[in-house]
Amino acid sequence: MNKELYIKRLRLLIRALPNGERETVVDFYREMIDDKIENGETQEQAVAGLGDVNALAQKILMENPNRKPRDTQSVISIALASFCGVFIVAAIVIFIYSLMTVPVNMTGSAQSSTEQIGKMEKKIVTSPVDGVTSIVINAENKDVVLSQSTGDTVNITYFTDNTQSYTVTTENGEMKLVNKDHASHGSFYLFPEHGDHTSIIISVPQSYNGAISANTGNGDIVLTQIKVSKLDLKSSNGDIVLKAVTSPELILDTSNGDITGSICGKEDDYTIQTGTSNGECSPRSRSGGSKKLTADTSNADINIEFTN
Amino acid sequence: MDIQLKKGLLDVCVLAVINEQDSYGYQIIKDISACIEISESTLYPILKRLEMGFCLSTYSREHNGRLRKYYRITDIGKQRIRDFHEEWKELEQIHKFILQEEKK
């Protein structure tokens, strides 16, 4: 089998993965084949070295928890049905359904509220700012929006229906949200963007001086008037936008999204490390400041300015 | 070798390789193969896991008219190697204990 055919088959076989993840996987194996060829193997040898494409796809799907979760659940349900009858299956389906809907584990003084908006549930988790030393957002594909709040609580707002799961925990000062967008029925293929459009919104009071880290696959990360001790943001295919952000340590990383915006402070105060492989970059790297700015992108532009 | 044990070791092997210098998939496999067998499909989830754990960061660079993805170790990744050395000492203690028990 030649390279293009192998890649094409692989992409088809792992189509159940989210788009971003699928392309990352395909890029990885394409690069492997290219490097093997460059090191003297023939196209046939390089492809054969990766093994049977069906077996490879199987392995990739097994390792990826983000693929259609209901598949395995329905398999389990069918197996149980043949043993235990309809009653137990019903109980298990209810149990699974309860797992699918937003587990929120909270300790300490965090509180949660729910509001029904059409088919979506709007959830707000609040925690007094005094107890929070770091905020961690791990979103699969959603936009993450951070801005200043007027009160004295950290608020995390998100929207959910039964096609995705959210877990919010507050433990030892860390307030953490993990989001997974599950595929739902056949609509996953027809509307791959289904359920991905709603942002995760975090508002942080002015008095907050902890760390914030956020990670998303295809979403943007936007911060407005935030003051933090350390900022660590990563998006694979989305943009990172800072608007009047104050922090002595910023780490910003994207593969294909722009990094733009403004940081409050003087450029001279920062040791700057910026890099892009295929885009434009401002400011340039410099050393000497006690504060740190690291911005990295592979294929997009960096444009950050300093304001007072 | 026990598959679970090997899995944990491979993570550290990958980190050790990129601790030398930034590297890419094919080269990492080549370097590790000198000591332990590793396939492409084994490496991919390791790299992904290490990236998710902030042990490494990635960037792409042009190479011969195509993009090649490079992996760079982070401070967390370096700490992970140091932790491994500590854990290894504990493992040695356990090994010693097992040997002693066998002699009894």
Of B24, B54, B60, the CB nearest to A298: B60
User: Any chain B CB within 8 A of the CB of A22?
Assistant: no
Query: Which residue does chain B place closest to A47, by CA atoms?
Result: B40
- Helix boundaries (H) for A64-214: 69-84, 86-100, 187-190
Reported ipTM: 0.90
Choice among A113-117, B68-72, B79-83, B95-99 with the minimum mean pLDDT: A113-117
Q: Which of A300, A294, A296 is nearest to A256 (CA)?
A: A300
Task: Report whether pLDDT(A69) > 90.
Answer: no
CA A215 to chain centre: 5
Task: Report whether pLDDT(A302) > 50.
Answer: yes
For residue B74, how many other CB atoms are within 10 A of its CB?
Answer: 18
Residue with more model confidence, A258 or B15: B15
User: Any chain A CB within 8 A of the CB of B66?
Assistant: yes
Query: Which residue does chain B place closest to A254, by CA atoms?
Result: B59
CB pairs under 8 A between A and B: 57
Q: How does pLDDT run across A213-256, given as a tens digit for each residue?
A: 999 887 889 898 888 999 999 988 888 989 889 999 999 999 88
| CA-to-CA dists, residue A25 to A138, A144, A296, B60, B75, angstroms | 20, 24, 21, 15, 26
Report d(CA A293, CA A299) in Å as an integer.
Answer: 19
Q: Which of B80, B68, B65 is nearest to B14 (CA)?
A: B80
Q: How does pLDDT run across A266-280, given as a tens digit for each residue?
A: 998 999 988 888 788
- Residue A257: the pLDDT is 87
Report d(CA B81, CA B84) in Å as an integer.
Answer: 5
Residue with more model confidence, A137 or B7: A137
> What phi and psi values does residue A34 have, to the nearest 5 degrees?
-60, -45
Report d(CA A76, CA A72) in Å as an integer.
Answer: 6
Q: How does pLDDT run across A14-59, given as a tens digit for each residue?
A: 999 998 899 999 999 999 999 999 999 999 999 999 999 999 999 9
Q: Which of B3, B10, B14, B26 to mutate to test the interface with A (most CBs of A within 10 A)?
A: B26
CA A58 to chain centre: 24
Task: Report whether pLDDT(A106) > 70.
Answer: no
Report d(CA A153, CA A131) in Å as an integer.
Answer: 10
User: Any chain A CB within 8 A of the CB of B33?
Assistant: no
Residues in Cβ contact with A184 at an 8 Å cutoff, skipping those fewer than 6 apart: A70, A162, A163, A194, A195
